[in-house]
Amino acid sequence: MTRLLPALRVMKCSAIALLVGTAALPGAALAQGGDHVIDFALGAPVLTLDPGVAAGTQAQTARVQIMEGLVQLNAETSEIEPLLAESWEVADDGVTWTFHLREGVRFHDGSPLTADDVVASIGRIIDPASGMGRANDLRQITEIAALDDSTVKIVTAAPSGTLLRVLALDSASILSTAAIEEYGDQIGWHPVGTGPFKYESHVAEQSITFVRNDDYWGKVPEADGVKFITVPEASTRLTMLETGEADIIVDVPGADVERLRETDGISLIEKPNTRLGHVGMNVSRAPLNDVKVRQAINFAINREAIVKGVLRGVGVPADSIIAPTVAGYVPQDMYGYDPQKARDLLAEAGYPNGFDITMWTPQGRYYMDRETMIAVQALLGQVGIRANVEVVDWSTYLSALREPVDGNKSQLYWLGWESGTADIQVILDTVFDGSRMPPNGWNTMFYKNDKVDELRAAMSREVDPDKRQDMAAEVQKIIMTDAPWAPVYSYVQVSGYNSDIDGIEYLPTDVYRLKNVTFK
């Protein structure tokens, strides 16, 4: 077994049976741990609450319970609505924005929200010296200043049609200036926000506990608190829901969806989101530095069969680098399932007998992640690519993918990028920017195409929606042709929850808001 890092824990997998049913258990009752404490079982750990650190949507779900931004997405319409900013306007120059803060808001430490806190929070992320992983989210902001205690000025590099959506990201959350100054880079476990819940404690990579903020500026939550629990195995999460150990679980197995629809005491959220699951490829290393090999891998993958057999229909076969729910999506009918075409391309690339390669996957971070990669392993084997699947724990996984190119041992790997703004721009800027390779960015493919960078930059400045859509179509075609990814499917989130609760808000960005949860 290849060891990538001293801390790496891997498990070899083979192309075993993928579809395992779960026996029905007694109907769910409200999870214990407090009269109205919400027990929420996630598939991967919350690694940090620091909004400047990229740690996945499970961390984002935790953060939005305790901290807030100037604006937020409406969970039903995806429209922008006020949060800590009551109103805003943009000047005639198109780049100068003025935000007016809500009065009467206090942080969890009792201090009042002021414009200085907004400047400190966002300024910390965009400061080049900070090296924050989420700086890319806010890259269009070139200046931020407090005009008075309740007014903030933000200047962008060019007119922007996406600034408000960017400010709705958790990376633009506002923290107490005093906490930022006191805790510095340890703020991740000392967060002081304005949200409806407050941080209480955590057990590293196992659980995190919040309590209700009784001094919340808005409607005080009915729940006494929230506890997020790390449970990588989908079958275990399902058992917890059915026995009352959990009130909410993510990623219900497709094989159990029909049964749960008819189960008393359990309800389901079934919504498409902006996440797209893909096989990423490190194009800096042979054989993946050959575009014909990367295209062969795309032709070798039977997306429809994986969605039907592995996901049990809970997904949509992918035909681009973004999901259909993302603004800018244009389907690219480029890679139908064609194993003979894959073999021909491999032969043209000098690999008529295939080759050996390693595929990494997390387990439980994404719906059916390990199972999907085992299915991909079998499909690649049919065209001569002998793949070894290694399961890597989530925290190590992120670190290993972010190693600099010279020491990066990745080859093929599974990720599921979502668009936090529901717009293609954030994916282009975060993942396909040729200047944002590890360790300073998330271009974990080490992919660079000058035309992609040109289009990406032009799109960020374009305010005409038709012109922008044309550029989006062109950039998707280029990237799909270059094939640094093999997109497999976009996600339909199926979450289970106790029918005795109501008011869960699920955003298309794969984030849950719990402040409006009520109990029957």
Beta strand 266-281 with 485-498 is antiparallel
pLDDT beyond 90 at 248: yes
Domain-located, residue 458: yes
Element (DSSP H or E) covering residue 242? helix 234-243
Q: Residue 295 has which token pair?
A: 């295209």
pLDDT in tens, 452-502: 999 999 998 888 889 999 999 999 999 999 999 999 999 999 999 999 999
Q: What pTM was computed for the model?
A: 0.79
Q: Evaluate whether residue 401 is within a structural domain.
A: yes
Give yes or no: residues 441 and 512 share one domain.
no
Q: Which CATH number covers residue 133? A: 3.40.190.10
Which DSSP string corresponds to 416-467?
Answer: EE--TTSBHHHHHHHHS-TT--TTSSS-TT----HHHHHHHHHHHH---HHH
Q: Is residue 514 part of a domain?
A: yes
- Does 185 share its domain with 311? no
Nearest to 326 by CA among 434, 445, 476, 478: 476
Mark whether 57 and 203 lie in a shared domain: yes
**Per-residue pLDDT, 491:** 94
Classify residue 320: in a domain, yes or no: yes
Sign of CA dihedral 263, 267, 270, 275: negative
- Band of residue 35 on the pLDDT scale cut at 50, 70, 90: confident
Instruction: Read off the pLDDT of each residue in 401-426 and give the average, rounded to a whole number.
Output: 94
Helix, strand, coil percentages, rounded to 5, for the chain: 30, 25, 45
> What secondary structure does DSSP assign to 377-396, as a single string?
HHHHHTTTEEEEEEEE-HHH
Q: How many domains does the chain have?
A: 2
Looking at the fold, whether 68 and 208 belong to one and the same domain comes out as: yes
Same structural domain for residues 421 and 298? yes
The verdict on 331 and 403 lying in the same domain is yes
- CA 308 to chain CA centroid, Å, is 23
Q: The CATH number of the domain where 404 resides is what?
A: 3.10.105.10
Residue 263 lies in a domain: no
Write out the residue range of the structural domain in which residue 66 sits.
37-228+499-519
> Is pLDDT of 3 > 60?
no
Residue 1 has pLDDT above 50, yes or no: no
Which residue carries 């429809």 as its tokens?
304
- Mean of the per-residue pLDDT values for the chain? 91
| Shared-domain flag, residues 119 and 157 | yes
* Residues contacting 29, CB < 8 A, separation 6+: 244, 265, 498, 500
What is the distance between the alpha carbons of residues 346 and 352, in angstroms, rounded to a whole number? 6
Going by C-beta distance under 8 Å and a sequence separation of 6 or more, which residues neighbour residue 33? 39, 227
In this structure, are strands 412-417 and 355-361 parallel, antiparallel, or unpaired? Answer: parallel
Question: Is residue 27 in a domain?
Answer: no
pLDDT at 420: 81
pLDDT given for residue 21 in this prediction: 37
Least confident range from 45-49, 251-255, 374-378, 447-451: namely: 251-255
Average pLDDT over residues 373-396: 97
In a domain, 240, yes or no: no
Asked if pLDDT for residue 232 goes beyond 80, the answer is: yes
Residue by residue, what is the 3-state secondary structure of 255-284?
Answer: HHHHHHHCCCCEEEEEEEEEEEEEEEECCC
Query: How far is it, in rounded angstroms, from Cα 305 to Cα 84?
Result: 46
* Side chain identity at residue 42, one-letter code: L
Q: Is 223 helix (H, G, I), strand (E, B) or coil?
A: coil
In a domain, 395, yes or no: yes
Q: Quick check: 99 pLDDT over 90?
A: yes
Joined together, the tokens standing for residue 377 give 């392993």
* pLDDT reading at 14 higher than 60: no
Query: Which DSSP symbol is given to 102?
Result: P
CA distance 54 to 76: 25
Determine the pLDDT at residue 31: 53
Using the predicted structure, report yes or no on whether residue 386 has a pLDDT greater than 90.
Answer: yes
Looking at the fold, whether 213 and 179 belong to one and the same domain comes out as: yes
Task: Give the model confidence (pLDDT) of 45-85 as tens digits.
Answer: 999 999 999 888 999 999 999 999 999 999 888 889 999 99
Residues 156 and 304 in one domain: no
- 67, 511 in Cβ contact below 8 A? no
pLDDT digits 0-9 by tens, 189-227: 999 999 999 999 999 999 999 999 999 999 999 999 999
Same domain for 212 and 136, yes or no, is yes
51 and 74 within one domain:
yes
Q: What is the pLDDT of residue 11?
A: 41
**All residues at 6 or more sequence positions from 457 whose CB lies less than 8 Å from its CB, including other chains:** none
Same-domain pairing of 364 and 297: yes
